[in-house]
Chain A
Amino acid sequence: MLQLTDLYKSFHQPDGDIKVLDGVNFTLDEGRSAALLGESGSGKSTLLHLIAGLDRPDSGSIQLQQREMTQLTDSEWNEVRRSELSLVFQQYHLVPTLSVANNLQLQARLCQRLDEEFRDYLVERLGITRLLRRLPHQLSGGQQQRVAIARALLHRPGLVLADEPTGNLDEGSSDAVMQLLVDLVSQAGSSLLMVTHSPAMAAHLDAQWQLHNGQLTLIEEQ
């Protein structure tokens, strides 16, 4: 599904270059989920951005479904993000002027893969049926994140990338949202790679990797 080989990435800073990724190797199989643990500033988000094509590695290979991604152009990456990937952020990034219904259908409509049955299922499972006509600012944080998750899964992407999806939620909602995310990802048939600093959240997933000093190591796998 996703294969990272010898990824290097450093950032230029006035006080010298910072090696964020120093030869990262990683594999995620179809339908599996993995958590990416690490301290603040360890480069977790950078790694996620590289996989999403939002940033480019200095060297190394990123293969998605056996396709080499590092040579793609911006617009090719855009098409990949449109149909094969999904991003879930800590900030929910809902379009404030669109209703909940339109927000959650947005990406599926963009890639023309709107499965109405699955939509209704997702809406029901996420418990947002009564919220469909509302605008994002009329929802709580947890509700907004549920809409964002629905939006990310509705088009059944191959890979879901999540960056601290529960970072803005309290502990109770975090657990609930996390569980829903894991369940629904697997029902959508997608793989999941999630960046988090919380071992508790990471425990929901199949494998846990640790990013430290630019090196990625597998801590645990079920």
Chain B
Amino acid sequence: MVSKRLGWTLHTLLSHYRHHPLQTLFLLTGLITGVALWVAVQVINTHARSSYQQATQLLGAQASHWIRPAGDGGIELEQYIELRRAGFRQLFPVLEQQLTTSDRQPLNLIATDLLALPMDSVGAFNVTANWSELMQPPFQAWYPQSLAETLDLQPGEQLALASGIRLPAAVIQTQAQQGQRVFMDIGAAMTVLGRTRFSYLAVGGLTPVEQAALSSILPAQLQLVANQQSLDLSELTQSLHSNLTAMSLLSFAVGLFIVFNAVRFSLNARSTTLATLQELGVSVRLLSVAIAVETMILSIIGAAAGVTLGYLLGMQLLPAVANSMQNLYGAVIDHHLLLQPLTILKAWGITLAGLLFALGWPLWQRSQRALASQRSISDDWLQDGKARRMLALGALVLLALALLLYPNMDSVAEGFALLALLLFAAAWLLPVLLAAALAALQSLIPERAWRWRWALNDGWTQLPVLRTALMALLLALTANFGVDTLVGSFRSALENWLDQRIAADIYVNSEKLKVDSVLQSPLIIDHHQRNGVDLRWGLRPAQIYGLDTRAPDSLQLPLAMHNNALAAWYRNEAGVVLANEQVHHMTGIDPGDKITLTTAAGPRKFTVAGFFYDYGNPFYRFYLPYDIVATLWPDAGNRGLALWLERSAQAGGADISSSTSTAIEQKLLQAGAQPGEWVYRDDILQVSIEIFDRTFAITAAMGTLTLMVAGIALLASLLAIHQRRLPEYAHWRAIGVRRREWLLIILLPLAVCVLLTWLLSLPLGTLLAWLLIHDLNVLSFGWTMPMLVQPWPAVRLALLTAVVVATTLIITLLQVRYRLPATLKQLGGDG
């Protein structure tokens, strides 16, 4: 009996959605887009994290350890064969190299010997491919689909490198853990690239006995290191994933605004239904149950569609994220997204929670009101003042919380909580500010400009309906402007820094280069030979570099801070070290503090003389004088040679003449370098910026998507307003209001509101960027940079918003035009 009554009550409640398809559409759109963005990021994050777990694997094979050269220069074939013939068949050779394409795109290569992979790992390989063609001249280069698309590469094409080398014919083919890299047979890669040594040997599945045996026979210049990449990657990438999650939650919040919006519009129509049902004897309790069921049904629909859409979106966004991970951290992320049950469950959970807040709660509230009051609902705009004040009050509470949190903030999560508090406080303040602005404008406009006054007055009718959408728009604009400012500042800081750091004209990194022979060239006016070792410091990998303190780029090293000991560093004194800014921000070490580094002879203390900027480096890095490194770490390897070239007078002194570059390349070849082992300054700069832009592509994508969701909110609101006001417009028409007058009345308040929202997003976005740069960035990555507020992103966002508003307006105008005649005919009838 109860279930039958519930069925009918529910049927009556849900009939609303059938009769108001547009509201239904918007409710679902808001819900689904919000959930979808969240799911997309979740799927990507989970996938990336599981990829890090697989970092103990390499191209599908177990790689629990690595054998790396103690210094630089790679591993000789003979060393490898010796180990294989000693029975260590868990070893397989790997060549990893960063290449630059002829149009200056960075490209990572990974190569191994498929026949040498441990037997049990071969199952992970894609065996549909033609292996003998991979291994035999003219060889093949395998690209994942998305990489081929990025490089605009057709199957069969041979990618040209900046060095003039052409890679073998392209095949679209993906292997386990290939990531966004080109895969080749190691023999093919060594042959084509002219390499003679492997980057390292991967070691799969060692028993303790085997490990001891391997260590004991390993030649001195090779070292067996445990593969801690899973740990390192999880640690290093945590911040980036938090960033993505925060952005997706913001999108979800914007989506909820749409739902809230749609529910509010329908509330008036539905409260009549609620009253009728109660008059017909449906108990408040049954009504509550029906509302709960309705919420549940919508949450299931929303979550299911959202998860599907999110998964598809995730697949679209994955290459961008994979690129970021590869470029920033060297993390390899595969292309097969997994949708975990937990993600689906979580998606449904947040959908349900969101709907309870945005749909269930308002409906339930309405159903709890006394029957009598339900029939006499005065216009929204009359109640709006009260709602505005409530929101403003809430905003003040949020602000107070934010102020309390700020001084005690010491984790990335807290940082995002602070940002959320600020964003929502601003959003909730918006209606009050808009109302104040409308009132102020009204008082400014003289009585005789009565059309304008009328138009501004009309703002009071529009405001309650637009309120939610404008709050969503403010969130989206603020986030976009803030992130644009962050990325812009980072880009500009990186460019300046690169300009200073990459000061030499040409950089050579060659195994076989006879340096002395090169330096005899009269074309070379200065040079900088560096050495270095990789070790662990604290929990993270660290890089030790030995610099020539007299080299031009050492002399103008961009320092974030330093003390008097700097002079001692420049005097090549032992015991003084420069560290990157990350060391300062992540560990709290100050100039003058002592740190301990593990040298070949054991731990040794160094005084920190200062911190240099080191943008984008996830690792700790220490600079010591060249000879000190050579003494303390006898295994230290070559870290490249920088050369400053003579500039001929006729070339204007700025660029290196082509005759100079031809001559120096000739010289390098004579001295034993291979083509592709040197790179010009401009190319490094260009490739670095290219990598940067690719890395932040995901941020831009997320920003645009959030703005689109806000656009939908605006469209939904405008359509709802106009649909409800059609009789009013018909009457205006009946007393002779012209179309352009009508347009002025409708458009002016909307324009004022949107313009104000945009204006407000600028200082807010700047504040957001400031917090991101000065607090969150330091917490996340450990580096600082000057904030650069650029007008262009603001203008871009204004244009984008204008396009969104114009689009929604055109759609609503068409709708009004189409439906107005019918409404006109009903004038005076039932009103």
Chain A residues in the interface with B (C-beta under 8 A): 45, 48-49, 52, 54-55, 75, 78-83, 85-87, 89-91, 93, 95-98, 102, 105-107, 109-111, 137, 151, 163-164
Contact with A along B713-737 (1 / 0, CB 8 A): 0000000000000001001011111
Q: Would you call A110 and B734 a contact (CB within 8 A)?
A: no
Q: Would you call A97 and B458 a contact (CB within 8 A)?
A: yes
B583 to chain A, nearest CB (A): 62
A-B pairs, 7 with minimum CB distance: A82-B736, A91-B831, A89-B828, A163-B828, A93-B731, A81-B736, A97-B457
Residues of A within 8 A of B739 (CB): 75
**CA of A83 to CA of B736, assembled, Å:** 8
- Extra contacts besides A82-B738, A96-B381, A107-B736 (14): CB < 8 Å: A54-B734, A78-B733, A78-B738, A81-B733, A87-B827, A87-B828, A90-B831, A93-B734, A95-B457, A96-B379, A97-B381, A97-B461, A163-B828, A164-B828
A29 to chain B, nearest CB (A): 24
Residues of A within 8 A of B829 (CB): 45
Residues of B within 8 A of A75 (CB): 738-739
Residues of A within 8 A of B378 (CB): 137
Q: Would you call B381 and A111 a contact (CB within 8 A)?
A: no
Scoring A49, A78, A93, A106 by chain B CB atoms within 10 A of each residue's CB, the highest score goes to A93
Q: List 5 A-B contacts (CB under 8 A).
A: A75-B738, A85-B736, A87-B827, A90-B828, A90-B831
Residues of B within 8 A of A111 (CB): 736
CB contact under 8 A between A82 and B381, given known A95-B454, A97-B457: no
Q: Would you call A87 and B735 a contact (CB within 8 A)?
A: yes
Query: Using a Cβ–Cβ cut-off of 8 Å, how many residues does chain B contribute to the interface with A?
Result: 27
Q: Would you call A98 and B457 a contact (CB within 8 A)?
A: yes
Scoring B728, B737, B825, B828 by chain A CB atoms within 10 A of each residue's CB, the highest score goes to B828
* CB-contact partner of A54 in B450, B453, B824, under 8 A: B824
Q: Would you call B737 and A137 a contact (CB within 8 A)?
A: no
Residues of A within 8 A of B428 (CB): none
Residues of A within 8 A of B561 (CB): none
Residues of A within 8 A of B741 (CB): 110
* CB-contact partner of B825 in A55, A91, A97, under 8 A: A55
Residues of B within 8 A of A49 (CB): 824-825, 827
Residues of A within 8 A of B252 (CB): none
**CA of A137 to CA of B378, assembled, Å:** 9
Chain B residues in the interface with A (C-beta under 8 A): 378-379, 381-382, 450, 453-454, 457-458, 460-461, 728, 731, 733-739, 741, 824-825, 827-829, 831
**CA of A105 to CA of B461, assembled, Å:** 20
Q: Would you call B736 and A137 a contact (CB within 8 A)?
A: no
Scoring B731, B738, B824, B827 by chain A CB atoms within 10 A of each residue's CB, the highest score goes to B827
A120 to chain B, nearest CB (A): 16
**CA of A102 to CA of B827, assembled, Å:** 22
Residues of A within 8 A of B382 (CB): 137
Scoring A45, A95, A105 by chain B CB atoms within 10 A of each residue's CB, the highest score goes to A95
Residues of A within 8 A of B457 (CB): 95, 97-98, 102
**CA of A163 to CA of B827, assembled, Å:** 10
Residues of B within 8 A of A91 (CB): 828, 831
**CA of A117 to CA of B827, assembled, Å:** 31
Which residue of chain B has its CB nearest to the CB of A86?
B735
Q: Would you call B827 and A89 a contact (CB within 8 A)?
A: yes
B818 to chain A, nearest CB (A): 14
Which residue of chain A has its CB nearest to the CB of B451?
A109
Q: Would you call B828 and A45 a contact (CB within 8 A)?
A: yes
Residues of A within 8 A of B738 (CB): 75, 78, 82
Residues of B within 8 A of A102 (CB): 450, 453-454, 457
**CA of A133 to CA of B824, assembled, Å:** 30
Which residue of chain B has its CB nearest to the CB of A48?
B828
Residues of B within 8 A of A96 (CB): 379, 381, 461
Residues of B within 8 A of A110 (CB): 735-737, 741
A119 to chain B, nearest CB (A): 14
A77 to chain B, nearest CB (A): 9
Q: Would you call B736 and A79 a contact (CB within 8 A)?
A: yes
B215 to chain A, nearest CB (A): 84
**CA of A49 to CA of B827, assembled, Å:** 9
Scoring B381, B461, B734, B736 by chain A CB atoms within 10 A of each residue's CB, the highest score goes to B736
B567 to chain A, nearest CB (A): 73
Q: Would you call B458 and A81 a contact (CB within 8 A)?
A: no
CB contact under 8 A between A81 and B734, given known A54-B825, A98-B454: yes
* CB-contact partner of A81 in B379, B454, B735, B825, under 8 A: B735
Residues of B within 8 A of A52 (CB): 734
Which residue of chain A has its CB nearest to the CB of B379?
A96
**CA of A102 to CA of B445, assembled, Å:** 14
Residues of A within 8 A of B731 (CB): 89, 93
A106 to chain B, nearest CB (A): 7
A66 to chain B, nearest CB (A): 21
**CA of A203 to CA of B628, assembled, Å:** 115
Scoring A52, A110, A163 by chain B CB atoms within 10 A of each residue's CB, the highest score goes to A110
Q: Would you call B736 and A78 a contact (CB within 8 A)?
A: yes
Which residue of chain B has its CB nearest to the CB of A165?
B828
**CA of A164 to CA of B824, assembled, Å:** 17
Scoring A49, A75, A109 by chain B CB atoms within 10 A of each residue's CB, the highest score goes to A49
**CA of A125 to CA of B741, assembled, Å:** 31
**CA of A111 to CA of B734, assembled, Å:** 13
Residues of B within 8 A of A85 (CB): 736
**CA of A201 to CA of B240, assembled, Å:** 77
**CA of A75 to CA of B736, assembled, Å:** 9
Q: Would you call A97 and B460 a contact (CB within 8 A)?
A: yes
**CA of A96 to CA of B384, assembled, Å:** 14
Which residue of chain A has its CB nearest to the CB of B450?
A109
Which residue of chain B has its CB nearest to the CB of A167?
B828
Which residue of chain B has its CB nearest to the CB of A55?
B825
A91 to chain B, nearest CB (A): 4
Residues of A within 8 A of B827 (CB): 49, 54, 87, 89
B745 to chain A, nearest CB (A): 9
Q: Would you call A89 and B831 a contact (CB within 8 A)?
A: yes
Residues of A within 8 A of B736 (CB): 78-83, 85, 107, 110-111
Residues of B within 8 A of A82 (CB): 735-738
**CA of A89 to CA of B458, assembled, Å:** 22
B382 to chain A, nearest CB (A): 7
**CA of A109 to CA of B828, assembled, Å:** 23
Which residue of chain A has its CB nearest to the CB of B458?
A97
B379 to chain A, nearest CB (A): 6
Residues of B within 8 A of A97 (CB): 381, 457-458, 460-461
**CA of A70 to CA of B612, assembled, Å:** 84
Residues of B within 8 A of A95 (CB): 454, 457, 728
B435 to chain A, nearest CB (A): 13
**CA of A91 to CA of B735, assembled, Å:** 14
A197 to chain B, nearest CB (A): 13
A85 to chain B, nearest CB (A): 8
* CB-contact partner of B379 in A83, A89, A137, A164, under 8 A: A137
**CA of A93 to CA of B460, assembled, Å:** 17
Residues of B within 8 A of A109 (CB): 450
Which residue of chain B has its CB nearest to the CB of A162?
B828
Q: Would you call A87 and B454 a contact (CB within 8 A)?
A: no
A140 to chain B, nearest CB (A): 15
Residues of B within 8 A of A164 (CB): 828
B738 to chain A, nearest CB (A): 6
